């Protein structure tokens, strides 16, 4: 049984593009975290596809995928703790509104609106 390598790789590329759109276009912090998860999954699919395709004797691709999944779980845990802290302090998780650490530029707040 054979499979074209290009199918998993193209699916991974499109999934990554969807994740990029989500990170840039969403303003709710939890939705941004979900989009980051989509991008991480695209990378995982690439790792698994090339591991199977190249017949890695050490299974580096699949093992690295497991490691990435664990790191993603830790990242979501920490990210949600930060989001909840921001919500507790400001009653809002609107990313566009969290500008306390931002530099003052000539564009200012109007450019964001």
11-70 residues in contact with other proteins (CB under 8 A) are 11, 13-22, 24-28, 30-31, 33-35, 37-38, 41, 44-45, 48-49, 51-53, 55, 58-60, 62-63, 65-67, 69-70
Residue from 86, 4, 85, 72 nearest 33 by CA: 72
Could you say which DSSP state residue 59 is in?
A: -
Residue 95 bridge partners (DSSP): none
Instruction: Considering the complex, state which of residue 9 and residue 100 has its C-beta at the smaller distance from other proteins.
Output: 9
Helix (H, G, I), strand (E, B) or coil at 94: strand
The only residue of 74, 101, 103, 106 in contact with other proteins, by rule CB under 8 A? 74
90 contributes a contact to other proteins by CB under 8 A: no
Instruction: Decide: 85 and 92 in contact? Cβ < 8 Å.
Output: no
71 contributes a contact to other proteins by CB under 8 A: yes
102 contributes a contact to other proteins by CB under 8 A: no
Helix (H, G, I), strand (E, B) or coil at 96: helix
The only residue of 88, 100, 101, 108 in contact with other proteins, by rule CB under 8 A? 88
């Amino acid at each position: 049984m054979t499979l074209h390598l290009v199918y998993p790789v193209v699916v991974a590329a499109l999934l990554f593009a969807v994740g990029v759109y989500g990170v840039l276009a969403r303003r709710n912090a939890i939705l941004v975290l979900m989009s980051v998860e989509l991008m991480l999954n695209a990378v995982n699919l690439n790792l698994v596809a090339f591991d199977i395709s190249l017949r890695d004797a050490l299974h580096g691709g699949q093992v690295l995928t497991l490691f990435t999944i664990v790191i993603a779980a830790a990242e979501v845990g920490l990210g949600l703790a930060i989001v909840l802290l921001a919500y507790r302090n400001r009653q809002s998780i609107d990313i566009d509104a969290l500008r306390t650490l931002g530099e003052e530029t000539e564009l200012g707040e109007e450019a964001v609106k």
